[in-house]
Amino acid sequence: MGSTGSGVSGAQAAPTIPRHIAIVMDGNGRWARQQGLPRTEGHREGARRVKEVARTCIELGVQYLTIYAFSKENWKRPRTEVSAIMKLTEYFYRREFGELRDEGVYFVHLGDRMGLPKSVIRVLDNIEKNNSDEKRLILNIAFNYSGRSEIVRAARVLADMAGRGELKPEEITEELFSRHLFTADMPDPDLFIRTAGELRVSNYLLWQIAYTEIWVTDILWPDFTGAVLRDAVRDYQNRERRFGGAPPEGNVSPSGSSIG
């Protein structure tokens, strides 16, 4: 639904626990280099961090976690690295899916299936068929994902409907557009975390992060822990979210609830 970003004009003090956290898991390569290991070992260690972070989200009461595992631009990386990420992803799903599903984690793939190896598509199909009945945490894995192409894809669907006379151009609203993104019916991310110190958005959730709070850390993704996530959430709780509005009069110090 993308409700947080669309149509909200007033200030909102005292943010509590973010409903939706989006993470760019950067720094796997640098971590591997620091350890004197091949880059793929950095990705392997990075994949291991996801479970702890998902569990911390459940403990905190975060409802949606979106992680950026492979962008469309990542196909430009050396063939051996791409193939290692594909294999690791398959392995991640095979090894972690059952356990996390039984803990109430509902998996969603964000991105295009077209272009992915058949073996990865088979794993994604299997997850869809056997997904959790509960939704304690919705874990979106952006894989073969690009924010711009997600927007173009939605525009094409709406243009097609308009072309067939099913929709008038003036009926295209932000709300309707949001419903044609991979994140349809999900709230926009409240908190965007990027590891490894880069100050870039990297074509990630471009529509959805219009008013998302950004938190960047120098920590490399393979060193990221549940405790670091709690630090990020604490920092978020001291923000004042305005969504383009003015600060509430006489209220300059938002008081977020404590996460302990």
Query: Which residues are at the interface with ligand FPP (CB under 6 A)?
Result: 25-30, 43, 46-47, 50, 69-70, 74, 85, 88-89, 92, 141, 196
DSSP 52-66: HHHHHHHHHT--EEE
Least separation in angstroms between residue 191's CB and ligand FPP is 19
* 112 contacts 152 by C-beta, under 8 angstroms: no
Of residues 20 and 239, the one with the C-beta less far from ligand FPP: 20
Which residue of this chain has its Cβ atom nearest to ligand FPP in the complex? 29
Considering the complex, state which of residue 16 and residue 202 has its C-beta at the smaller distance from ligand FPP.
202
Decide whether 38 or 254 has the Cβ nearer to ligand FPP: 38
List active site positions: 26, 74
Minimum Å gap between C-beta 1 and ligand FPP is 25
Residue among 36 and 260 whose Cβ is closer to ligand FPP: 36
Identify whether the C-beta of residue 137 lies closer than 8 Å to the C-beta of residue 57: yes
Q: Shortest Cβ distance from residue 118 to ligand FPP (Å)? A: 17
Minimal distance, residue 70 CB to ligand FPP, in Å:
6
**Alpha helices, H only, 146-238:** 147-163, 174-178, 226-237
Going by C-beta distance under 8 Å and a sequence separation of 6 or more, which residues neighbour residue 2? 174, 175, 178, 179, 181, 183, 186, 187, 188, 207, 208
Q: Which helix (H) or strand (E) holds 213?
A: strand 213-216
